[in-house]
Amino acid sequence: MTTDYDVAVVGAGLAGCAAACRLARGGARVILFEKAAAPHHKVCGEFLSGEGLPFLRDMGIDLECTPAVPSFRLHGPARSCEAALPMPGRAFSRYRLDELMLDAATQAGVKVRRGVVVQTLEDATSDRGYEIDGYRAPRVVCAAGKSEFRPVQTRQGKDSGMVGFKLHLKLAPQAQDRLQGHVDLFVFRGGYGGVAPVEGGVANFCFLVEKSKLNDMPRNWPAMSAWLGQRCDGLDACLRDSRPVFWPALSVANVPYGFVRESAVADDLYCVGDQLAVIPSLTGEGMTIALMSGSRAAEHILNRGGATGFHEEMHELLKPRVALGYQVHRLFKAPGICDLATQLVARWPRLLEYIFSNTRLPQLSRL
Ligand SMILES: Cc1cc2nc3c(=O)[nH]c(=O)nc-3n(C[C@H](O)[C@H](O)[C@H](O)COP(=O)(O)OP(=O)(O)OC[C@H]3O[C@@H](n4cnc5c(N)ncnc54)[C@H](O)[C@@H]3O)c2cc1C
């Protein structure tokens, strides 16, 4: 046993870094474990909703100086519509964002242990809390993200039947120009995907495909982009003559969409980010939920609140938002309905406003 800390955080994604940073700034001694030894890309649409920006600002990360994304376009297989976002968001690569977050945590005084895969939470006796990799802490923040983390129970989503892919693309000049200031959502037979303009003049393309369609999907980019383009006119225009910045695409399976943790696993174990709730990707709200829940867990710990109260608060807040996001995700499985939806939205833009305002987290940064 080498050192004692007040809190151990497992996972240095958005939720884990937000929690660790806030705790350290509040005077807690924090140790943060991250399994990846070096910066890396992550499967994510990389669109951060405007509601998430204040959490980053609090950590000293100013994404407001990057180009705003004020507009959202929805493309069904044959029809499209456009709407203003309730608050302009930002598009930024997770490769860089997660490193900025980790730097902020380190500067706040967090002890970072990189390249450590936490497999178990050794149950030290109740007065000693948990033991991880030889370090002891009375409280643990579980921020292990998408992957299952064995020491807490398995998450059951309502739909884990899709596989997510992500790659960065150099788009053709016309398509890149068209993308500026927008995030595009394309719905096609067997899946949907988003394109967002991240830094460095490249586009992030992240898409979900139903497992049953995977055998049909070609494995090289020219054929894969043509296969996707055949399924959606807007996507065809966007992807034509694009080339990947890295290959192969990253992928992730078995994401438990629709999951919301009902209650605390233990009163000294706080689950945050995707370990707390998994809102369908199309809402572009998962990162903001991760930032909010990490910060909020830190506040509870600093105020000596138990995980039970934290989880009750989060459940009440997130359950209806994740449920609505899941209903829209289900609708997108019928692309014809999406074409119809684009017409409805063109006629009644308030429909989209309703969905935005009921899936987003309003002004929670100062909870
Ligand atoms: C296809 C897809 C598209 C998406 N698009 C968007 C979008 O456009 N906008 C948006 O807001 N959200 C989007 N999301 C959701 C968003 O990516 C997640 O909600 C968010 O990343 C959750 O953050 P997190 O900190 O909980 O987890 P993560 O960002 O996954 O971080 C978890 C960290 O824990 C580490 N870790 C895992 N297990 C261990 C272990 N045992 N020991 C040590 N470290 C461990 C991992 O290496 C990782 O660094 C998307 C998700 C998917 C699947």
Q: pLDDT (tens digit, 9 = 90+) per residue, 246-290?
A: 999 999 999 999 999 999 999 999 999 999 999 999 889 999 999
Cα–Cα distances (Å) from 282 to 47, 73, 178, 236, in that order, read 10, 12, 20, 19
Chain centroid to Cα 100, Å, comes to 16
Q: What pLDDT score was predicted for residue 126?
A: 52
Cα(3)–Cα(28) distance, integer angstroms: 14
DSSP label of 38: S
Q: Is 200 left (phi over 0), alpha (psi -120 to 50) or beta?
A: left
Ligand 1 center from residue 143 Cα (angstroms): 9
- Give residues (CB < 6 A) around ligand 1: 10-16, 33-36, 42-48, 117-118, 143-147, 149, 164, 194, 206, 208, 252, 255, 273-274, 281, 284-288, 290
Half-sphere exposure at residue 80, Cβ-oriented, CA atoms within 13 angstroms: 15
Q: 142 in helix, strand or coil?
A: strand
Ligand 1 center from residue 81 Cα (angstroms): 29
Residue 347: pLDDT above 80? no
Q: Which CATH architecture has domain 47-91+161-253+332-362?
A: 2-Layer Sandwich (3.30)
Q: What pLDDT score was predicted for residue 367?
A: 45
Q: What pLDDT score was predicted for residue 328?
A: 87
Higher-confidence residue: 221 or 72? 221
Higher-confidence residue: 344 or 196? 196
Ligand 1 center from residue 279 Cα (angstroms): 12
Question: What residue has token string 């376009």?
Answer: 73
Higher-confidence residue: 353 or 94? 94
Ligand 1 center from residue 114 Cα (angstroms): 17
Ligand 1 center from residue 340 Cα (angstroms): 32
Residue 2: pLDDT above 60? no
Nearest CA to ligand 1 atom 27: 145
pLDDT band for 366, please (50, 70, 90 cuts): very low
Please identify, in words, the CATH class of the domain defined by 1-41+93-159+257-330. alpha beta
Ligand 1 center from residue 146 Cα (angstroms): 5
Cis ω for the linkage preceding 248 (within 30 of 0): yes
Cα–Cα distances (Å) from 144 to 63, 108, 196, 201, in that order, read 24, 21, 25, 30
Chain mean pLDDT for the chain: 92
Cα(339)–Cα(188) distance, integer angstroms: 10
Residue 145: pLDDT above 70? yes
Q: pLDDT (tens digit, 9 = 90+) per residue, 43-89?
A: 999 999 999 999 999 999 999 889 999 999 989 888 888 888 889 99
Show the tokens assigned to 49: 């909703």
Q: What atom of ligand 1 comes closest to residue 145's alpha carbon?
A: 27
Nearest CA to ligand 1 atom 30: 145
Nearest CA to ligand 1 atom 39: 144
Q: The sheet that has 135-137: what strands, in order across it? A: 122-123, 130-132, 135-137
Q: What atom of ligand 1 comes closest to residue 255's alpha carbon?
A: 53
Ligand 1 center from residue 248 Cα (angstroms): 19
Alpha helices in 241-334 (DSSP H): 286-302, 307-331
Chain centroid to Cα 225, Å, comes to 24
Residue 316: pLDDT above 70? yes
Closest among 301, 325, 323, 286 to 145, alpha carbons compared = 286
Length of the chain: 367
Ligand 1 center from residue 290 Cα (angstroms): 8
Which sequence spans correspond to the domains of the chain? 1-41+93-159+257-330, 47-91+161-253+332-362
Ligand 1 pocket mutation, candidates 9, 41, 43, 44, criterion most atoms within 8 A of CB: 44
Nearest CA to ligand 1 atom 41: 118
Nearest CA to ligand 1 atom 17: 44
